[in-house]
Amino acid sequence: MTRLQSMAPAKVNLSLRVLGKRPDGYHEIASVVAFADAGDELSLEPADRLSLSVAGPFAAYAGPGESNLVLKAAHALGERIGGLRAGKFLLTKNLPAGAGLGGGSSDAGAALRLLAEANGLKPDDARLLDAARTVGADVPVCLVPKARLMHGIGETLSAPLELPPLPAVLVFPGKPLATAPVFAALKIDGLPRRSAPYQPADIPRSFGALIEFLKAEPNDLESTARALMPEIGLVSELLSRTKARLVRMSGSGSAVFGIYETPEQAKKAAGKIRAEKSDWWVEKVSLH
């Protein structure tokens, strides 16, 4: 086996509806998910034993040891495939943790892709998806990182969506926000009544129509997250002062994104926010 590499792109929830709470405590959601052309980097090289090394600007915030989702994904797949060839993973952590950008889940998805390549597994091997589901609710959508609809607790996925180019800016205010407290504080009864989950045909393919659709489909977690972390509101306010056509929190926060009509507008907005908030993480990306 030669050294293999894969990007673990940032996952962005363009919308996130909370449909209800299940008896087991998990929340049913409906979400339009896209991926950025920026993210963590993961490599796998031959070694006698499974291991993980972490580097990069956010290395200190990666899950420690065996709790890291890269190793959890490898163990989960190894439980389903006897004699699985693994090796040494090197994770370059470029995405902030606790940002709602699915960094750990995307890392796990990349690990499963690399293990599939190293072991000659087809991308649609059912054991890959089964392993992904055991690692985390967001891991299945990160297994093949393409825009999709997510339903259930994240385990039910549509076929890939055809989205228009979406120039965007991702902003993390430097403070992480864990998912559990946001869902714990969420008041389901206070949310507007939601209809049936999305269907792929519901998602417009033109830029303008998609923006208008998304404006009517907010992130139901955002107001709760803002109450827990007021900095999210500040990020949204700064992005709204630029030419963003849509400003929204991703996932359970604390990162916020702005979508622009052109890459030039996104680049200018990113530069402006960096100049005002040099201690924030700001990334100009394209969502797909």
Q: Which is the catalytic residue, given 40, 72, 107, 138? A: 138
Instruction: Report which DSSP code applies to 68.
Output: S
Tokens at 44, concatenated: 């796998």
Name the pairing type of β-strands 88-92 and 51-55: parallel
Q: How far apart are CA 259 and CA 245, in angstroms?
A: 6
Place of tokens 């339009």: 32
Q: How far apart are CA 285 and CA 168, in angstroms?
A: 5
Q: How far apart are CA 129 and CA 123, in angstroms?
A: 9
11 catalytically annotated: yes
138 catalytically annotated: yes
Q: Which is the catalytic residue, given 11, 72, 93, 284? A: 11
Q: In whole angstroms, how far apart are CA 129 and each of 89, 101, 115, 216?
A: 20, 20, 13, 32
Q: In whole angstroms, how far apart are CA 288 and each of 24, 30, 104, 164, 207?
A: 33, 18, 19, 7, 12
Helix, strand, or coil (residue 121): coil
Place of tokens 């946001």: 182
Hey, which residues are catalytic here?
Answer: 11, 138
